[in-house]
Amino acid sequence: MSCASFLYVNIEGGVGLISLDHVSKSFGPKKHGERLTVVDNVSLHIEQGSIHGIIGASGAGKSTLLRTMNLLERPEEGQVYIGGQELTMMRERELREARRKIGMIFQHFNLIGNRTVEGNVAIPLELAGVKKDERIARVHEYLRFVGLEDKAKQYPAQLSGGQKQRVAIARALANEPQVLLCDEPTSALDPKTTSGVLEVLRHVNEALKITIVIVTHEVPVVERLCTAVSFMDSGRIVRTLPIREGSLPPDMLAWYEEQEAGDDER
């Protein structure tokens, strides 16, 4: 099927910003031995302006799927489109440009320990060749946005986990992306800190109109934050649905609890 037929309109009548079209990714030796298929023929459309959760048990392939969306993992099969542009067709230079429109945050924040908070937020702007005055203005704008302007001169080791994740969010926002990819952003945080980070992500979505894709294994994260969710198992998307009234439908909640229980037994 050609992507043009489904790129912009989905079943909800919304606009699709990210589309994966029959995407597969495997790991392991190419010549000998068994390759492990981690993302298995996934087609998925993420609506512009949405907060789309991807939930599944450990090893389901969630992080790998997320990483195909900015081609940190290049799929062997299928196409990836963002904003109508096919990333999988791009040469390295074009891809670098396109990636500036896709921010990413991680479970363990990935801050540079020997750089201050403002130095960390400045990194993507330095890489993009943004001039110094503009860089300083943007660093402070986004530190203010995440409520950490007063920590600009501190180092990551002086911050709490929640503050580190907010610095990582400011860094991801500095290039003014259209999309923010979040890989288990609250898994290393306690419940109270999780709430604060979820509030910041909601603010990112509402105030800056940035589409968010969030990988998690926490049902409350999906119920409190997401507008849509995809359930993932063994490399496949089992079901995608909108979140209504902040709760997962009982059948999918039961399905997920079973997956997690199986995970604990393994």
Residues that bind ligand ATP (CB under 6 A): 27, 38, 56, 58-64, 217
Structural contact between residues 24 and 13, judged by C-beta atoms closer than 8 angstroms? no
Q: Which residue number, 15 or 252, has a Cβ lying nearer to ligand ATP?
A: 252
Find the shortest distance in angstroms from Cβ 264 to ligand ATP: 13
197-to-1, 200, 221, 243 alpha-carbon distances in Å? 39, 5, 10, 20
Residue in 70, 7, 66, 15 with CA at minimum distance from that of residue 42: 66
Helical pair 117-127 and 132-145, crossing angle rounded to 10 deg:
130
Find the shortest distance in angstroms from Cβ 217 to ligand ATP: 5
Question: In angstroms, rounded to a whole number, what is the distance separating the alpha carbons of residues 39 and 86?
Answer: 19
Q: Which residue number, 141 or 218, has a Cβ lying nearer to ligand ATP?
A: 218
Residue in 121, 227, 111 with CA at minimum distance from that of residue 175: 121
Q: Which residue number, 118 or 233, has a Cβ lying nearer to ligand ATP?
A: 233
Find the shortest distance in angstroms from Cβ 215 to ligand ATP: 6
> What size, in residues, is the chain?
266
Q: Which residue number, 18 or 146, has a Cβ lying nearer to ligand ATP?
A: 18
Find the shortest distance in angstroms from Cβ 161 to ligand ATP: 18
Read off the tokens for 26.
Answer: 């495997």
Q: Which residue number, 15 or 71, has a Cβ lying nearer to ligand ATP?
A: 71
Question: In angstroms, rounded to a whole number, what is the distance separating the alpha carbons of residues 172 and 123?
Answer: 10
Find the shortest distance in angstroms from Cβ 102 to ligand ATP: 18
